[in-house]
Amino acid sequence: MDLKMLEQQLSGNLPPVDQWHPAHCGTMDLLIDRDGRWIHEGSEIKRPEMVKLFYRILRKDADGYVLVTPVEKISIQVAIEPFVLIDAVFEDGVWVFIAKSGERIPLCDQHPMAVSHHEVLGDYPRILVRSNLWAHFHRNLFFRMAEQAAHTVTDTGADSWVLHSADKDWAFG
């Protein structure tokens, strides 16, 4: 994979990774950890440009997460979700979350929030970033947003917590 050439080709809008169907080339020793760090062969990738490039070519297939180019597809590991939300602002009735990748994700119909389950964490809220790629809340932001969540009771009588955004209540936990 010639990363410099790929970076030049991918400048601008997100590449159409969903339209690329190259042969699978194997697995890379690459992990996106719980805190959104990209760990390659035990060492964190420190170059922000490299991490940004990898985020742009990341896709989730039925068999897991892959980095994909027009000519190759390589499997990687993700601890929880590939994106990590680190901050939030409330703008004009919409919660806008900032991911560690720098992306801004408004909580709305195009970027819904859902509660998912992880074998270690239990239930946790996550927000759709794009094409089956989700973001989870960093611990600090989770507790900050828990303070903003409103208590409600579901139709079945269960306690629930919701965030109000874009004229809608979204299940937070």
pLDDT of residue 10: 47
Q: Where are the domains of the chain?
A: 3-78, 83-171
- With a cut of 50, list the residues of the chain below it in pLDDT: 1-3, 5-10
The verdict on domain 83-171 having CATH code 2.60.40.10 is no
pLDDT of residue 157: 79
Amino acid at 70: P
Q: Which residue has the tokens 């937070």?
A: 172
pLDDT of residue 152: 86
pLDDT of residue 96: 98
Four-way CATH pick for 3-78: 3.10.540.10, 3.90.550.10, 3.40.50.200, 3.30.1180.20:
3.10.540.10
Residues 46-94 pLDDT 10s: 999 999 999 999 999 999 999 999 999 999 999 999 999 999 999 999 9
Q: Is 154 strand, coil or helix? A: coil
Q: What phi and psi, each to the nearest 5 degrees, are found at residue 3?
A: -65, -35
Q: Across the chain, how many H-helices and E-strands are there?
A: 3, 15
Pairing of strands 38-40, 150-153: unpaired
